[in-house]
Structure 1
C-alpha cells in the first residue's frame, strides 16, 4: 500500500552545488513554472536555459497594444506577441538557422512606407525572395513562407501593415493554418528553434483585460493599464477582470484547459515573477482553475516583487502586493485554501532594490510567508533585478 507524506527540509540560498548540478545536465533540470507576460522575463528566460530545459511559461493572451491590437481587431484572436518573444528568448542560440529566424521574427515593417509597398515586400517574403526569409535554411524557410501565405490570404484589405511585427504575422498565419488552434503552432516553432522550455497561453481566448479603478473609472484593454503606450493610471486598481466585450465590460471567468492544469500540476516550483503586477501576473490567475491547480500542487511558491517603477502598483508596497496576490488566489479557489498552499516565499533585495519604501517584513511573515532578503540587484542591472542572481536564489528553492 502506498501513502502520501509531506517532508520538510532546510535549504541553502543560493545553493552552489545544486546550481552546478543543474548546469551540468540542464535537460534534466527542474520544472519551474512562471506566470508572466510582456518582456520583463526576457533576460531571465535567456539565462534559465543554462540550468534547465524544462521551465514552463504560462502567458497572458490579452495584450491589446501595438501590432497585437491590429491583429486582434482584424482576426478576433488571442495576442501572440508575448508568446513569440518568449519562444525566441528560450531558443537554443547555437542551433544553425536560429540567428536568421531571430532576425526575421524581430523585424517590424517600416511605419513610414506606403501600404502598397509593404504588401509587395510581404509577397516577396512569401515567394522566398526577401533577403531575411532567404537567409533562413530549409525546412524552416518553407514553413515560414507557408504561414505568411495563410496570413496574406486572410488579411483584410483595410489591414494596416505599418509597424507590423513579421513574427506576429507568421504566428497568425500558422494560427489559421491550424484552424484557429495556437498550441500546434507553438509546438512547431518550439521544435524548429529548439526552445528550451514550454510556452503556452493560460487560455486560448479572444478576451480583454479590464480594470476598475478606485475613482470609479473602468479601463478596458491591457494597453490602458500598463502605463507604457498610454499615460499611467491616475488611481489605484480596485479590481482586475476579464471581459469578452470591449464596449460592454462584464466580468467573465474562462476556464483553463486540462493540459494547462496538468502543466501547473507538474511544476516543481511555481514563481509569481517580476513584471507588470496586474496585467502580466494577476491576469494569469484570473481564469477558472488556475488557483485550484496552484493550491493542489505542494511545491514551493515564490513571489518576486518588482524593483524600479511599475505604474500598475500605484498604492501598493510589497506587503500590500502580497495581500493582493492572496486576494486573487482566494477568489479563484473553489474552497478555502491554507496560506502555505498558495504562497511560501517572497524574494527581495532590501539593500539594493527600490521597492517604493521600506519592506514590512513582519506583516508579510504574519500572513504565513517567509521573506528571503538577499542580493538580487547589481550596479549593472540597477534599478532592475539581475537575472542570474534571481535564478541562483530561485532554483535553490526547488
Structure 2
C-alpha cells in the first residue's frame, strides 16, 4: 500500500490478519505534530506515519505496542506531545548514520513485522502547493491551514537533491499483484508519494491493478465539495495518465447529526457519488457500504475493505499495499 495518515494502518491491520504479503510505502512529507518537531530539530524523516504502520503490522504483545504508541502528556513540557515510538525511530536513524531506511528495517525485525515497511524516500521531503489563486506555499501543515483550493502539489528535498525512492521501493511496486492507494488525505498523504518521480513513473508503468480507496468525507483545506470522480481526476492529472484502474466507493449515507465536527475539525461533508465521472476516466467502480461509525466519527470499515481487496486480487497471498498519510 502507498500512503499515510490514520486510514492506512486500519487496512494494513486487516490485511495482516488475512496473511497477505504486504509492503507498505509510507509518506515522509509530514511536518505537523511530534513528527514535525523532531524533523525540525534533528532533520530526520518524519516518523509518525511510519510508527503507526509498524504497529499495525507488528506481532509483538499489545503492551509493547501501547508503550511504543504512548504520547507524553502536555504537562511533561520537554517531551510534551511526543510519542515514544517517534523518538525510537529518530534515535535508530541517527545510530544508522541518518539512514532512515536501514533504521526502519532493523526496527521491523525487532517488532516482528509481518510484511515490509518502506519510507517513500530516505530524506525528509517538503510538500509544496500551488493554489487556484496562483499563490504557493510550502509545508503540509501550512498548506492545509491555508484553506484554499489546491491546484497542484509537488515535493522537494531539504538538501537540494532530487527526491527519489530507493530501489527496494521501486522493485516492490513493479513486482506487486495489486497496488492500493488510500484511504488518506488526497493532497497531503497520497500524492506526496506519487510526486516522487520514480515512484509515480513505475505506478503508471506497472501491470498490477491500481486500486484507489476513495475517502468517505471531504477535508477542509484539501477536497472541499469534491466528488469521488474529482479525487480520481486529481490523481490522474498529477501523473498525466489515467492510471487508476479500480475505485472503492462508499455509498452508505452518514446519519445526520452523527459527526462531531469539533472533535474532527478537519472533516466537512460526505463525498458525493459521481459514477459517470468515474467511468469517463476508465475506472472500474466498486460501490458498497464501507462505512464504519465510531466515536462520533466516520471511518472505513477495514474488514469490508480488506475483503474486497482480496476478492479483487484473486491471489490473497501476494500483493503490495501502497499509499496512506
Q: Tell whether the structures are fold-level matches, with TM greater than 0.5.
A: yes
- Measured in 2, the distance between the counterparts of 1:81 and 1:358 equals 30
Distance change >3 Å, CA 53–CA 177, structure 1 → 2: farther
CA contact (8 A) 1:209 1:242 kept: yes
Runs of 4+ more than 6 Å apart: none
CA contact (8 A) 2:44 2:93 kept: no
Counterpart check, 1:370 vs 2:288: no
Choose 1 or 2 for highest CA Rg. 1
SS at match of 1:57: strand
Report the CA distance between 1:88 and its aligned residue.
Answer: 0.6
Counterpart check, 1:345 vs 2:218: no
CA contact (8 A) 1:253 1:286 kept: no
Find the counterpart in structure 2 of residue 243 from structure 1. 156
Matches within 5 A, 1:211-360: 211-226=129-144, 231=145, 233-244=146-157, 253-311=162-220, 312-330=222-240, 339=242, 342-352=243-253, 356=270, 358-360=272-274
- Measured in 2, the distance between the counterparts of 1:357 and 1:185 equals 38
Distance change >3 Å, CA 305–CA 329, structure 1 → 2: same
Alignment TM-score, normalising by the size of structure 1: 0.69
Deviations 1:279-302, CA, capped at 9 Å, x for gaps: 101111001111221233212111
CA contact (8 A) 2:156 2:163 kept: no
Alignment TM-score, normalising by the size of structure 2: 0.84
Find the counterpart in structure 2 of residue 201 from structure 1. 119
Find the counterpart in structure 2 of residue 174 from structure 1. 92
CA contact (8 A) 2:152 2:238 kept: no
Report the CA distance between 1:174 and its aligned residue.
Answer: 0.7
Find the counterpart in structure 2 of residue 72 from structure 1. 39
Report the CA distance between 1:357 and its aligned residue.
Answer: 5.6
Find the counterpart in structure 2 of residue 109 from structure 1. 72
Give the number of the structure whose residues are more often strand, by fraction: 2
SS at match of 2:183: coil
CA contact (8 A) 2:130 2:153 kept: yes
- Structure scoring higher RCO (CA < 8 A, sep ≥ 6) equals 2
The match for 1:52 among 2, 15, 19 is 19
Find the counterpart in structure 2 of residue 29 from structure 1. none
- Measured in 2, the distance between the counterparts of 1:193 and 1:65 equals 25
Report the CA distance between 1:390 and its aligned residue.
Answer: 0.7
Deviates more, 1:79-88 or 1:352-361: 352-361
- Measured in 2, the distance between the counterparts of 1:36 and 1:314 equals 20
- Measured in 1, the distance between the counterparts of 2:168 and 2:281 equals 32
Distance change >3 Å, CA 384–CA 99, structure 1 → 2: closer
Find the counterpart in structure 2 of residue 386 from structure 1. 301
- Measured in 1, the distance between the counterparts of 2:287 and 2:168 equals 35
- How many residue pairs get matched? 298
Find the counterpart in structure 1 of residue 318 from structure 2. none
- Measured in 1, the distance between the counterparts of 2:158 and 2:94 equals 22
Deviations 1:309-341, CA, capped at 9 Å, x for gaps: 3221124221121111111122xxxxxx6x4xx
CA contact (8 A) 1:353 1:384 kept: no
The match for 2:50 among 80, 83, 86 is 83
CA contact (8 A) 1:270 1:300 kept: yes
CA contact (8 A) 2:218 2:226 kept: no
Report the CA distance between 1:353 and its aligned residue.
Answer: 6.0
CA contact (8 A) 1:236 1:315 kept: no
Find the counterpart in structure 2 of residue 39 from structure 1. 6
Matches within 5 A, 1:135-214: 161-214=79-132
CA contact (8 A) 1:214 1:238 kept: yes
- Measured in 2, the distance between the counterparts of 1:289 and 1:57 equals 16
Counterpart check, 1:100 vs 2:14: no
